[in-house]
Amino acid sequence: MLKKNYFKKVLDNVKKTCNSLIVIFAFSVYSGNAYAQRVGEIEQKPKIVVGIVVDQMRWDYLTRYYERFTDGGFRRMMAEGYNCNRLLINYLPAVTAVGHTAIYTGSVPAFTGIIGNSMYFDGNWDSPVRDLGVTGLGTATKEGKASPHRMLTTTMTDELRLATNFRSKVISVSIKDRGSIFPGGHCANASYWMDSESMDFISSSYYMKELPKWVKDFNKQKLGAAYLKEYGRKKDKNGAYVADFWELMYDAQTYKQSAGLYEKYYDQRTGTILKYLPQGNTYTADMALAAIKGEQLGKNPEGVTDFLAVSFSCTDMIGHKLGPNAPWIEDTYLRLDQDFKRLFDALDEQVGKGEWVAFLTADHAGSHNVVFRQEHGIPASTWPYYRIMKELNDTLKATFALTKNPIHSLECHNIFFDYKTLKTDNNYSDSMRQSMIDLCIDVLKKKDIVAYAFETKKIPDYVPEPVRTMAINGYNPKRSGDIQVILEANVTEDYDDGYKKDYNGIPVGTNHAVWSPYDTHIPFIIMGKGIRHAWDNDTHTVNDIAATVCALLNIQQPSGCVGHAINVMRPAIDVKRR
């Protein structure tokens, strides 16, 4: 009896062991298949990524003009892509050079070193892309002397080049130099921007020895001059402009999301400059399409992913003149929507539908015009840049018996002392520095439009979030100014302060740079190969864009990246769910 029970237990154990082995084997096979599928998905990368930045685009333009967009442009992105509805800038200031850098580096000015559109370098006030050590290509002007050499971190485009041992092609295009140079990164095959005088697309010797034939052929068409001649403002025989701006695409009565045609806060001094016409965006799209064809982007013989960075800059130039409520702003985005459709259709045809990825974002947004807000009962004030700078300079000179203006700039609400000039003033000594800073802070704190003013390297504990973190992220100890000014909500810098002879002293157009959501809430949509369709209302930061694209491409994040990848990909098989 004992033997019978003993053998029964042995048989039961054998059965259990066999069943476990079968389960383990099956699980292993399934897991291997799942792993193989994941590896397959990693290997099936898009043939090209197209990064689109629309300068000064507010997130709410997507919903504001949705009914008038075509199915092939903005609507296509929203219908097919992953929509981040709450993507915010997390640093100060919200301006073009900083924004393009943050998008592509996944970092903040504290690490990138790009703290504004103009900065001090070796005691000289200059553009962050100026590089006197290079030669312009396609131009004899100083506009060709530019490169990314002042950016301190890598970009997602750099990391793509590194990950593929420089077999991937990276091309960037924009009318603005900084809108092209920073996205292209340090390792771009080429970055192209527009020469203001000739309206040709140019580059610099940082990238190559001479312009490629396809670029020279593109410039020979003189499309910029043709657009300007056809759509630019015309003058009558007396030299007066016969139209306020360009002719709208549709009847003016159909622009129901916009204010009237003749509001007093529109700045009409656009003259005949392509940068202030929506056709400048079309010209940019033309160049982007020429780059796809000329460089055979998306058809890399090495089988690796290429990258095209395109920044549409005219939206910013037009936005500054008008503000978000002008019918010409609505018209600009309706035209840009058609340019998007043209670009996406070309990618479908030349690269293959479902074989590419594109993302849309902005370097910053922009506020409503101050007069417009006041007329509708909304609190609004201006930061009169030049008048405040004059007041501070006059106060400092009188107090410290200085003969020269000690403040050079209030760039993006950062106050920069001009120490190079001060050192030539016989009445100045370095011991005055702290007293001068303290006096300026006292003057600024007394102004109703100022919420906080403090020394940039001594951010007070009482500055609330998220502004405190934004100020920290925007501070670079080697490049930032001496004083940071935080404006009250609904205060906008008067970009035209000091030049109001034609508008009865009222602030025209609009500006950007401050911490408020109207300047820092920007769109982010990504669509294409492997991307799922979803609506995401969680809060993300601009730094997450680079982290997300790098995760999608399975490459290293940029060297200064502080962002987190957003889960935009279609889900792979999950073993645990089975």
Structure tokens at 260: 């009237």
Q: Dihedral, CA atoms, 136, 142, 146, 149, nearest 10 degrees?
A: 120
Q: Which residue has the tokens 């401050």?
A: 514
Task: Identify residue 379 by its one-letter amino acid code.
Answer: P
Of the candidates 63, 96, 270, 541, the residue annotated as catalytic is 96
Instruction: Please report which helix (H) or strand (E) contains residue 280, including its range.
Output: helix 279-294
pLDDT of residue 495: 65
User: In three state form, how does the secondary structure of 487-539 look?
Assistant: ECCCEEECCCCCCCCCCCCCCCCCCCCCCCHHHHEEEEEEEECCECCEEEEEE
377: left (phi over 0), alpha (psi -120 to 50) or beta: left
pLDDT of residue 189: 98
Q: Which residue has the tokens 């004030």?
A: 381
Question: For strand 190-194 and strand 170-174, is the pairing parallel, antiparallel, or unpaired?
Answer: parallel
154: annotated active-site residue: no
pLDDT of residue 32: 47
Specify the pTM. Answer: 0.91
Structure tokens at 332: 């600009």
Q: For the purposes of burial, counting CB atoms within 10 Å of the CB of 384, is it exposed (0-12), middle (13-18) or buried (19 or more)?
A: middle
pLDDT of residue 47: 98
pLDDT of the chain along its 578 residues, tens only?
A: 444 555 555 556 655 555 555 544 554 554 445 444 444 444 579 999 999 999 999 999 999 999 999 999 999 999 999 999 999 999 999 999 999 999 999 999 999 999 999 999 988 899 999 999 999 999 999 999 999 999 999 999 999 999 999 999 999 999 999 999 999 999 999 999 999 999 999 999 999 999 999 999 999 999 999 999 888 777 777 877 766 788 899 999 999 999 999 898 998 776 678 999 999 999 999 999 999 999 999 999 999 999 999 999 999 999 999 999 999 999 999 999 999 999 999 999 999 999 999 999 999 999 999 999 999 999 999 999 889 999 999 999 999 999 999 999 998 899 999 999 999 999 999 999 999 999 999 999 999 999 999 999 999 999 999 999 999 999 999 999 999 999 999 999 886 665 554 566 788 899 999 999 999 999 999 999 999 999 999 999 999 999 999 999 999 999 999 999 999 998 864 444 33
Strand partners, 130: 146
Report the C-alpha gap between 22 and 463 in whole angstroms.
63
Report the C-alpha gap between 302 and 47 in whole angstroms.
11
pLDDT of residue 5: 57
* Structural contact between residues 134 and 145, judged by C-beta atoms closer than 8 angstroms: yes
Structure tokens at 356: 């590419």
Report the C-alpha gap between 506 and 284 in whole angstroms.
33
pLDDT of residue 35: 45
Rg (CA), the chain: 28
pLDDT of residue 233: 75
Please state, in angstroms and as integers, the Cα–Cα distance from residue 382 to each residue in 263, 374, 409, 464, 508, following that order: 18, 11, 17, 22, 11
